[in-house]
């Protein structure tokens, strides 16, 4: 261990295993209201322009939605588009790849444009697993109930019914592609327990679930008849006849030129917003998670749902500080890991839903029971050693090799020393309003994955977002094929960015000409400001 790590752990208290007090429904509600960032008044703004006007959201989300375009007006289009395709998919994570594979299988011409490389996404980082109700005594109905309860009853029941019933079929698809999930000695898929669920329901590939998924699906999409443009994020959508979506403008990060794509149908699979660091929170998200799809579609008038609801995952690493934000999967708590405050006391049942556990950690830290770090942050201990004590020596190393590898690189052996954690901005619960086939409120603009909203209500259960990618990625891909075939032909002359002009006029009126931030930002800028 380095001196810094050594001296930090020298101050560790004795851990008291006594169970924390059970929470009544009222306790939970009070805890959330007092400490969960979604319910706190600080750092919030009321949206003034567009379909979500009147909604109170984090300031960073308001800045994203009420922003000016990267493309300055007037916005004439070139004489011809650079590409003319059936389907443009924006985003190369799990949802985008799944949509592309299913659309290409139907013979549609698919262009997949993505900000970094194909597969660079939050999907590849998923550790814990996919929820699928496969156990004896479990059923899609129980999966429905647990998810609806976990989402505080704000979930769209129609979306949820599709998720739980089609989920197992998509797991079958993944297995047919050669994805290796953990098995029990009888050859069944092993089922693990996550927070907020009544049954063990998580299938996983140790704690490398997302990596295993992306390794395989990336190879498939590269080998499929899909044109792929990497390092080419979309920065604006294009509008066609009747206000329908008609393509997008991509920005080539290397040549620094715009690329104009005419498309009969567009699928946004642009993921979430973690890298906007809402409320200054660290994030577990990949480098490109800046909410591009939300911002572009909002300018076109797309309706959003639950855009005031975000998931702060309870257990992000907070020390050593170079790891800040990195996720420690909830599966460790499912396996028996315990949390302690600076006095060595447990303070919440570790298997409450994510928002409740996160609130409890924030409460401990804001009321002086957090463990201070050398950089002035504070957190609580997440102790994995109890897993080995209960399930046998070596269990942590066997089930969570990624966590052991990552922490050990930073001089902390998590089988012996507790990991210091604090909530990390993890997931955008809401997003573009959608239906069972991925439609947004804009014709010919579909959405899949984290960019969409409604399925998870206002709190997502672990493992449901991976399942969502495949269930709704496939549906969006197939629907895009249908829509692109049914759409009446239109010419490039009918295509414009008029919606952007109109949106910016509304901004100018509402904000009386005050300068608005530019978005999408594409990346966070962590460079030293005076360098």
Partner 1 sequence: MDNSQKEQETMVHVSINGRDFEVPAGSTMVQAMWYTGHEVIHGIGCLGGVCGACATVYRVKGDFRLRNALACQTLVQDGMSFSMLDSYPIQRAHYDVAHLSDPKEELFTFYPESATCRNCNACTEVCPQGIDVRDSVWRANFGDFKAVAELTMSCVMCGLCVSRCIAEMAPHEIALYARRAYGAKELPFPTNLRSRLNEIEKGIFSREIDRLLGLSPDELKKECEVKS
What is the smallest separation between the CB atom of 378 and partner 1, expressed in angstroms?
12
Interacting residues with partner 1 between 234 and 253 (CB under 8 A): 253
- Smallest gap from Cβ 398 to partner 1, in A, equals 11
Binding to partner 1, residues 118-137 (CB under 8 A): 119-120, 124-125, 132-136
CA neighbor of 339 nearest in space, from 12, 39, 17: 17
Does position 34 interact with partner 1 (CB under 8 A)? The reply is: no
Q: Which of 201, 264, 313, 439 is catalytic?
A: 313
Say whether 345 is catalytic: no
Nearer to partner 1, 274 or 336 (CB): 274
> Of residues 406-465, which lie at the interface with partner 1 (CB under 8 A)?
406, 409-410
Q: Binding of partner 1 at residue 401 (CB under 8 A)?
A: yes
Choose which of 16, 43, 78, 117 interacts with partner 1 (CB under 8 A): 117
467 near partner 1, judged by CB under 8 A: no
Please tell me whether residue 471 binds partner 1 under the rule CB under 8 A: no
Is residue 499 among the annotated active site residues?
no
Binding mask 296-335 for partner 1 (x = CB under 8 A): ------------------------xxxxxxxx--------
Other Cβ atoms within 10 Å of 11 Cβ, number: 9
Between residues 366 and 408, which has the closer beta carbon with respect to partner 1? 408
Q: Which residue has the tokens 């008609």?
A: 246
CB closer to partner 1, 99 vs 164: 164
In terms of C-beta density within 10 A (0-12 exposed, 13-18 middle, 19 or more buried), how is residue 516 classed? middle
Q: Which of 15, 35, 144, 298 binds partner 1 (CB under 8 A)?
A: 144
| Phi and psi angles of residue 179, each rounded to the nearest 5 degrees, phi first | -80, 135
Out of 70, 77, 231, 369, the residue judged to bind partner 1 by CB under 8 A: 231
Q: Which of residues 336-375 bind partner 1 (CB under 8 A)?
A: 373-375
CB of 514 to partner 1, least distance (A): 27
**Binders of partner 1 in range 95-114 (CB under 8 A):** none
Cis ω for the linkage preceding 320 (within 30 of 0): yes
Nearest approach in angstroms of CB 201 to partner 1 is 11
Element (H, E) at 218: helix 209-223
- Contact range with partner 1 by CB under 8 A, out of 214-222, 255-263, 381-389, 483-491: 214-222
* φ, ψ at 372 (rounded to 5°): -75, 145
Cα distance between residue 25 and residue 27, in whole Å: 5
258-277 residues in contact with partner 1 (CB under 8 A) are 277
Within 13 Å, how many C-alpha atoms sit on residue 202's CB side?
Answer: 28
- E-strand ranges in 64-121 read 83-90, 110-113
DSSP string, 429-488: S-EEE--TT-B-SSTTEEE-GGGEESTTTTSPPTTHHHHHHHHHHHHHHHHHHHHHHHSP
Q: Which of 137, 376, 489, 513 binds partner 1 (CB under 8 A)?
A: 376
Closest distance to partner 1 from the beta carbon of 216 (Å): 6
Kindly state the number of chain residues that form the binding site for partner 1, as judged by CB under 8 A. Answer: 91
Residue with smaller CB distance to partner 1, 231 or 490 = 231
d(CA 503, CA 87): 25
CA 394 to mean position of chain CA atoms: 31
Q: From CA 70, how far away is CA 234, in angstroms rounded?
A: 11
What is d(CA 492, CA 508) in angstroms, rounded to the nearest whole number? 29
Tell me how far, at minimum, the Cβ of 8 lies from partner 1, in Å: 9
Scanning residues 512 to 531, which ones bind partner 1 (CB under 8 A)? 523-524, 526-528, 531
Kindly state the smallest distance separating residue 166's Cβ from partner 1, in Å. Answer: 9
Neighbours of 525 (CB within 10 A): 7
% helix / strand / coil in the chain, to the nearest 5? 35, 20, 45
257 touches partner 1 (CB under 8 A): no
| Residue 287 C-beta: closest distance to partner 1, Å | 5
Task: Return the residues of window 148-187 that contact partner 1 according to CB under 8 A.
Answer: 148-149, 152-153, 157-158, 161, 164-165, 168-169, 171-172, 175-181, 183, 186-187
CB 128 within 8 A of CB 331: yes
User: 115 near 208, Cβ under 8 Å?
Assistant: no
Question: Per CB under 8 A, which of residues 13..32 are in contact with partner 1?
Answer: 25, 28-29, 32
The smaller minimum CB distance to partner 1, of residues 493 and 528, is found at 528
Three-state SS sequence of 129-195? CEECCCCCCCCHHHHHHHHHHHCCCCCCHHHHHHHHHHHHHHHHHHHHCCCCCCECCCCCECCECCC
Query: For residues 10 and 514, which CB has a smaller minimum distance to partner 1 in the complex?
Result: 10
Q: What letter would DSSP give residue 253?
A: T
CB of 133 to partner 1, least distance (A): 7
Q: How many CB atoms lie within 10 A of CB 189?
A: 19
Of the listed 68, 143, 333, 363, which one is catalytic?
A: 333
Give me the active site residues, please: 313, 333
């Amino acid at each position: 261990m380095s001196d810094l790590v050594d001296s930090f752990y020298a101050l560790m208290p004795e851990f008291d295993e006594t169970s924390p007090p059970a929470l009544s429904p009222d306790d939970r509600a009070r805890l959330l209201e007092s400490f969960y960032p979604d319910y706190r008044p600080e750092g919030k703004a009321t949206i003034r322009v567009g379909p979500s006007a009147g909604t109170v959201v984090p300031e960073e989300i308001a800045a994203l939605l009420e922003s000016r375009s990267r493309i300055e007006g007037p916005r004439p289009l070139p004489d011809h588009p650079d590409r003319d395709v059936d389907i443009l998919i924006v985003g190369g994570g799990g949802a985008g790849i799944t949509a592309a594979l299913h659309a290409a299988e139907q013979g549609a011409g698919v262009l997949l444009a993505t900000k970094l490389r194909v597969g660079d996404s939050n999907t590849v980082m998923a550790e814990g697993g996919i929820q699928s109700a496969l156990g004896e005594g479990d059923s899609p109905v129980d999966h429905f109930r647990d998810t609806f309860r976990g989402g505080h009853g704000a979930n769209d029941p129609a979306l949820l019914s599709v998720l739980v019933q089609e989920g197992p079929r998509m797991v079958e698809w993944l297995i047919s592609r050669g994805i290796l999930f953990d098995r029990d000695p009888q050859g069944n898929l092993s089922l693990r327990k996550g927070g907020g669920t009544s049954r063990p329901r998580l299938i996983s590939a140790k704690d490398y679930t997302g990596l295993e998924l992306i390794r395989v699906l990336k190879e498939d999409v590269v080998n499929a008849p899909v044109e792929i443009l990497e390092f080419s994020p979309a920065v604006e959508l294009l509008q066609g006849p009747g206000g329908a979506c008609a393509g997008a403008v991509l920005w080539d990060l290397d040549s620094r030129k715009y690329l104009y794509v005419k498309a009969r149908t567009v699928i946004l699979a642009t993921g979430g917003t973690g890298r906007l660091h809402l409320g200054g929170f660290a994030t577990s998200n990949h480098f490109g998670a800046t909410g591009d799809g939300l911002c572009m579609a909002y300018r076109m008038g797309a309706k959003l749902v639950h855009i005031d609801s975000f998931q702060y995952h309870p257990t992000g690493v907070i020390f050593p500080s170079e790891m800040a934000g990195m996720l420690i999967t909830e599966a460790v708590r499912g396996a028996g890991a315990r949390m302690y405050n600076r006095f060595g006391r447990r303070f919440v049942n570790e298997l409450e839903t994510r928002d409740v556990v996160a609130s409890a950690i924030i409460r401990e830290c804001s009321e002086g029971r957090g463990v201070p770090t050398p950089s002035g942050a504070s957190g609580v201990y997440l102790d994995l050693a109890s897993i080995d004590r209960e399930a046998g020596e070596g269990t942590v190393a066997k089930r969570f090799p990624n966590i052991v590898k990552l922490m050990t690189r930073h001089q902390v052996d998590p089988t012996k020393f507790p990991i210091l954690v604090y909530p990390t901005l993890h997931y955008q619960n809401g997003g573009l309003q959608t239906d069972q086939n991925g439609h947004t409120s804009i014709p010919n603009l579909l959405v899949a994955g984290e960019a969409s909203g409604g399925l998870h209500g206002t709190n997502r259960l672990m493992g449901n977002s991976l399942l969502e990618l495949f269930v709704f990625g496939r549906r969006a891909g197939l629907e895009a094929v249908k829509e692109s075939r049914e759409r009446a032909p239109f010419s490039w002359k009918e295509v414009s960015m008029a919606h952007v002009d109109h949106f910016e006029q509304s901004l100018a009126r509402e904000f009386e000409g005050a300068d608005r931030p530019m978005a999408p930002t594409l990346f966070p800028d962590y460079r030293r400001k005076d360098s």
